[in-house]
Amino acid sequence: MYLTVHAAAGAAVGQFMPNVWAAFAAGFVSHFILDMIPHGDENIQHWKFFRTKLRRTIAAALIDFAVLLATFCYWLTTNTVEQIPGIMYGAAGSILPDALWGLHELTGSPLLKWYRALHSATHRVIAKKLTILQGFAIQIPLLLALTYIIVAY
Ligand SMILES: [Zn+2]
């Protein structure tokens, strides 16, 4: 799932947590729950616009990060000062699993091999493959619903 949606889930649960480390842990766990929902990102690898898998991944991550930053600023400006730490730590925890995954892809480190297997396994819990558009049809409403929770509570 896109980092923007992961961060929204982390922020949504993080804002209710009693302390920042609980928010961080809740965000971290939320990542794996969301990744179990089929979300279509894998098909970015068939994106014709870029020649290599690495370029496609970096391009998608940069666009995702720009959207994440814009939505994150919106979440921060629509909440009370007391909720901001939980939102920030929840979002940070929710992004860490994909950062670790990316680190494994870049380094091939044997230290992260078990982690990569775990992260990939969450994507196979529901073995339905979606197109990028079908993925958007799931992720955009989910992002809007999570944003509603972040802004309204
Ligand atoms: Zn992930």
Following DSSP, what letter does each residue of the chain receive, concatenated?
Answer: --HHHHHHHHHHHHTT-SSHHHHHHHHHHHHHHHHTS---GGGGGG-TTSSSHHHHHHHHHHHHHHHHHHHHHHHHHTS-TTTHHHHHHHHHHHHHHHHHHHHHHHH--GGGHHHHHHHHHHTTSS-----HHHHHHHHHHHHHHHHHHHHH-
Distance 92 CA to ligand 1 centre (A): 13
Distance 52 CA to ligand 1 centre (A): 21
Q: 29: CA distance to ligand 1 center in Å?
A: 11
137 Cα to the center of ligand 1, angstroms: 18
Residue 62's pLDDT is what?
A: 93
**How many Å lie between the centroid of ligand 1 and the Cα of residue 49?**
23
CA of 145 to the centre of ligand 1 (A): 20
Interval between CA 10 and ligand 1 midpoint (Å): 13
- pLDDT for the residue 150: 97
Rounded Cα distance, 128 and 69, in Å? 30
Q: Which tens digit of pLDDT belongs to each residue from 108-150?
A: 999 999 999 999 999 999 988 888 899 999 999 999 999 999 9
pLDDT, tens digit, for every residue of 22-81? Answer: 999 999 999 999 999 999 887 777 777 778 888 888 899 999 999 999 999 999 999 999
